[in-house]
Amino acid sequence: MKAVLPLRIASVLTFIHAVLHTIGGVFGKTPPGPATMVVATMKANPIQVLGVTRTLWDFYHGMGLGVTIALTAESIVFWQLASLAKTVAPRLRPILATFLVAYLALAVNSCFYFFAGPVIAEILIAACFAWAIVAAKPAIAV
């Protein structure tokens, strides 16, 4: 039962991460100046890829939406794992460890390529998984 709370927190944090990523990253306004020119160039130069015509902006925007979809799905999975943790928490430890490592890797990636917001969110989510792993330890036989 103790692993439920950190998994619920991880679920909510991941959903917030998805919402803020969508608002700021996918549908956010481009700041004036050089960034506007870069976006205009990305939108103005179509290329042929595997039989379809796309722009670099299409790829950039599509990947941003893909991250939103993945984060939203993960938040639902984390909520479902919390429900499972009520009865089989120790058996979930390998899955929790996988997400712990993944979110630490995402934090490092975000540190190199993005900014503090995602780094903080991903470290907090990873901390929830570490907490859940510790809380999901098998009962000691007496």
Q: Is 50 left (phi over 0), alpha (psi -120 to 50) or beta?
A: left
CA terminus-to-terminus distance, the chain: 19
pLDDT value of residue 83:
97
Q: Three-class SS of residue 48?
A: strand
pLDDT value of residue 1:
64
pLDDT digits (tens, 9 = 90+) for 92-141: 999 999 999 999 999 999 999 999 999 999 999 999 999 999 999 887 76
Asked whether the beta carbons of 25 and 61 are under 8 A apart, the reply is no
Average pLDDT over residues 7-31: 95
Q: Three-class SS of residue 124?
A: helix
Residue corresponding to tokens 């917030």 = 16
CA distance 54 to 57: 8
pLDDT digits (tens, 9 = 90+) for 47-78: 999 999 999 999 999 999 999 999 999 999 99
